[in-house]
Structure 1
Amino acid sequence: MTISTIKAKGISVSLDLTVGHIADMVVDVAGRQLRPLHRAPWVDAGEALPNDLPQGTVRLSGDFLCAPFSRSDVEEAPLHGWPANSAWDVLDSNATRDGWRAVFRLRHKVMGASVDKIFTLIDGHPFLYQEHVFSGGSGAISVAHHPMTVMKGGGRLAFSPKRFAATLADPLEPDPARGRYMLAYPARSADLGRFPAAGGGTLDLAEYRMDDRREDFVTLVEADHGGPGWTALARQAEGDLVLVLKNPAELPVTMLWLSNGGRDYAPWSGRHLGVLGIEDGRTAVGHAASIGDNWLKREGVATAFALGEGRSLSFRHVIGAMPLSGGTPPGEITAAGGRMRLAAGGSGRDVPFDSDFLRIGRSVPA
């Protein structure tokens, strides 16, 4: 296994080059070390795992690029595609005037395109700024980030404005002998605080409760609000705030994967606890579905990027963490002038942030 670690003042990020997953992210602030990202309990255990697992599941960690998201049913590849399951090389990794910048390249091509991953750290910023660039290729590709955080005592979520939330036709674990779920499938709600539950009634998507043993998956569609798309998670036991940000024009959906002891078979075995995937993407579920007709397209939501010889496309994403007392996530996040403003309950705080990075307002072809 090869790990590539980059550092700037107050932050370090390590990439597992065997599969392109972030193995660790540490934010040093106010005398604390915050680790916002999850690493599956079997990764470093040295235990025997089922032979048919994709490498991305064997080494499940942090965040990774899915291309395509979910099933690779157009071009042969493992679940979530080669970027999540195969080797990356370091093309460049050097200190900059105010931090560090590293460029990694996927050894596999995706639909004939080369894929670069660019990490940027800035001194004093509690954020990983990342960009993926596809060069050349043909056809179309769906994409998603797959950051996972983990909690010991649950947490509270807040989001940028969404049009609605919806579940798929079928749950992830329909067989009660193998797992369990709590949301209704299919279901839809414009009120994230009142989403239909499997047993009747409603559940609050903004609340992550540790006593809710479940494996659930729900898609949030961004509203047209003109700002960054964001998800904020106040982790109760950890006493911190995890932030995930995107440009909604690039990545118009946020998929929440609630994995809290809801799978009983190996390697999950009921021990994958307190995990939340905050998966910003331009995708439906599966490559073929994403480039064909699907329910999101019928809602006017783009679900793939077009590839082409002599062309390149890119999209950007941010993950951050900071201390938080009181356990209440912000109700509003804005960015301007090199700062991020987090507002909650009539008060607010400012943190250093590259407010130009996400290129809000950039036109992105469907």
Structure 2
Amino acid sequence: MNVHRLQAGGISVALDLSVGHLADLAIDAGGRSIRPLHRAPWIDRPDLPEGLPAGVARLSGDFLCAPFSRSDVEAAPLHGWPANSAWDLVFDEAIPGGRRAGFRLQHKVMGATVDKTLILRDGHPFLYQEHSFTGGSGAISVAHHPMTEMQAGGRLAFSPKRLATTPPDATEPDPARGSHLLAYPARSTDLARFPDASGGEVDLADYSASRRHEDFVTLVEADHGGMGWTAVARKAEGDVVLVLKNPDELPVTMLWISNGGRYYAPWNGRAGALGIEDGRTAIGHAASLGDNWLRREGVETAFALGGHVAFRQVVGALPLEGGQPPVSITPGAGTLRLAFADGSTRDTAFDDQFLRIAKRT
């Protein structure tokens, strides 16, 4: 495997250059190494089904989707060339208090040059990422695709969302091939009471290790003016996985719940991944450029190309016992504060300028 490794004090990351996926993220904290990201168990197996996109065959960690889902404007595999083809190392250099590396996609996307920058800082339990598009024409939908997994389930928490929706069709509608828990299509402004397929309701913040299903739901950020975040408190792993964004850049968070609900290869009914996919997109490139439901809600679903466009995301983890996520996450001067329901707080080192959250008056 062609991997480039980047390391700073207490943290390291590896990028699979063949597809641009994060092959590993390791954070030293609490006297142990936390590995918050999922890596598909079938990678490098010789018996994979023919015709799998490279991004599925080597599914791991996090990667850039451009476009998100179907590539039905410019021919490319599922989630586009950034998730399925080779990247070149452009630089790897020391910076004050850390290290950064830059990579360039060998393919163009809608005529644009695509660059990836990974930054690690000494003592920070976070990977800081930026992707940019230079030149090109038309518009592109984008999303990050970080994935975690939970051996014994866990609880999720989110920055304020104004609604959650499922698409018109279930990801796995054929009971011979898979199963789903949520209703399709469905919509709720209360994430704790989302319609399920049986006519009842489920809590989207509850991730059960024993409940097998394949589902996809889009969460739309509320207009709260702050940082967007998702926290995943993993019970067995004793940690909390954090995914942070600027909602002005990436206004939706899509949850891909692939927990044993696909019966066919290469999934084969195995408990799998929870994707926390922050994006600026609808489902599919053409849909993102057209008159989609998100645009009717006032949500942008693509970036215009032609100049220079960049967006950022942060992913990391901290030790956490008890399985309860924070109720709020707030950046401060060089810190990130997690506040919990019992009134306790926890601070950790954080680059509070990285996400470029504009103060609103």
- 1:289 equivalent among 287, 290, 295: 287
Displacement of 1:97: 2.1
Give the match for residue 228 of structure 2: 229
Q: Name the SS of the counterpart of 2:184 in structure 1.
A: coil
Q: Name the SS of the counterpart of 1:313 in structure 2.
A: strand
1:56/1:85 contact within 8 Å kept: yes
**Does structure 1 residue 323 correspond to structure 2 residue 322?**
no
Q: Name the SS of the counterpart of 1:47 in structure 2.
A: coil
Q: Name the SS of the counterpart of 1:290 in structure 2.
A: helix
Give the match for residue 109 of structure 2: 110
Q: Work out the number of aligned pairs and report it.
A: 359
Distance 2:210 2:198 in 1: 16
1:152/1:274 contact within 8 Å kept: no
| TM-score normalised according to structure 2 size | 0.98
Give the match for residue 177 of structure 1: 176
Give the match for residue 62 of structure 2: 63
Tell me which amino acid in the other structure corresponds to 1:178. R
Give the match for residue 14 of structure 1: 14
Q: Name the SS of the counterpart of 2:28 in structure 1.
A: strand
1:73/1:286 contact within 8 Å kept: yes
Q: Name the SS of the counterpart of 1:297 in structure 2.
A: helix
**Does structure 1 residue 314 correspond to structure 2 residue 313?**
no
- 2:357 equivalent among 348, 360, 366: 360
Displacement of 1:362: 7.7
Report the CA distance shift for 1:232/1:354 in structure 2 as closer, same or farther (over 3 A): same
Distance 1:29 1:255 in 2: 28
User: Identity rate of aligned residues, in percent?
Assistant: 70
Tell me which amino acid in the other structure corresponds to 1:322. L
Give the match for residue 139 of structure 1: 138
Distance 1:223 1:135 in 2: 30
- 1:304 equivalent among 302, 307, 310: 302
Tell me which amino acid in the other structure corresponds to 1:347. S
Q: Name the SS of the counterpart of 1:319 in structure 2.
A: strand
Write the deviation string for residues 143-179 of structure 1: whole angstroms up to 9, x where unpaired. Answer: 0000000110001000000000000001000000100
Distance 2:114 2:349 in 1: 29
Tell me which amino acid in the other structure corresponds to 2:358. G
Displacement of 1:48: 1.3
After superposition, where does 1:1-366 map in structure 2 within 5 Å? 1-44=1-44, 46-271=45-270, 273-308=271-306, 311-345=307-341, 346-361=343-358
Distance 1:56 1:325 in 2: 33
Distance 1:285 1:341 in 2: 33
The unaligned stretches of length 5 or more in structure 1 are none
Tell me which amino acid in the other structure corresponds to 1:142. S
Distance 2:108 2:19 in 1: 14
Distance 1:97 1:305 in 2: 32
Distance 2:322 2:179 in 1: 31
Distance 2:228 2:211 in 1: 27
Q: Give the aligned CA root-mean-square deviation in angstroms.
A: 0.9
Tell me which amino acid in the other structure corresponds to 2:203. D
Displacement of 1:216: 0.3
Distance 2:308 2:27 in 1: 32
Displacement of 1:47: 2.8
Distance 2:321 2:348 in 1: 15
Structure 1 residue runs of 4 or more that deviate by more than 4 Å after TM superposition: none
1:258/1:277 contact within 8 Å kept: yes
Distance 2:222 2:30 in 1: 35
Moved more, 314-323 or 88-97: 88-97
Displacement of 1:142: 0.1
Q: Name the SS of the counterpart of 1:351 in structure 2.
A: strand
2:130/2:313 contact within 8 Å kept: yes
Report the CA distance shift for 1:253/1:191 in structure 2 as closer, same or farther (over 3 A): same
| TM-score normalised according to structure 1 size | 0.97
1:249/1:362 contact within 8 Å kept: no
Distance 2:18 2:117 in 1: 16
2:4/2:14 contact within 8 Å kept: yes
Displacement of 1:132: 0.3
Distance 1:47 1:109 in 2: 30
Distance 2:175 2:213 in 1: 11
Distance 1:362 1:297 in 2: 24
Report the CA distance shift for 1:173/1:230 in structure 2 as closer, same or farther (over 3 A): same
